[in-house]
Structure 1
């Protein structure tokens, strides 16, 4: 079976400084909480997503990824442990899979774009489906 390495152009939603403001390692920064406040959980949880559907993976911080699978289809993935450096600008995410799905427990690597060195890695959690909240009208 052929393995594919996929590099994800991770849009960094928070800077390293924003991550450093959290009181504990897993506590959400205000910026991450504000981004996630745009959504509400649907209650649906997936263990795998087809890689054909994955449009982008946005590292909100070292613990949470926002996965976009369509125009307005999103999933939250809370990784097991810490994905050191994932939320830092200048880093990218990549993963190697042997099939056509990205699943819970797959290893995501964080690579420094400047040096090409791996600076962190983590195992994915389950994919929690999110629905965008309607825009507030005033």
Structure 2
């Protein structure tokens, strides 16, 4: 069997030149979930390990005991705060009493001083003034000057 191309001239010779060949490679990639399965299993193991570390050694009663202990601590702190507040109020009241006593003592002292001043003023008003005595100082003797008298 021969192949005859009607478009080619049999008298014409084909051109000679370098021959290029092209190679096509096809890579077939198959979908595989193996990597995802490995990552999932490792993630699950890590999660289980973390949960075991967090909750190891703690029973269900431990949480209740810790809750009761925390409530007792909160009650003690509240009682201490209340006691401090009451002590502050007592201290403030004592300071107020001390201030009132000081004011009363000062008022009493002023009243005594005012009474004394009033009695002194009354005493001055009822007593006659002392008589005024005018005295003249003694006069020195007149000096006599003589020619033989010593001169000091």
Q: Which interval holds the TM-score relative to the shorter structure? A: under 0.3
Q: Which has the higher strand share?
A: 1
Which is helix-richer, 1 or 2?
A: 2
Larger RCO: Structure 1 or Structure 2 (Cα < 8 Å, ≥ 6 residues apart)?
A: 1
- Structure number with larger C-alpha Rg: 2
User: Normalized against structure 2, the TM-score is what?
Assistant: 0.12
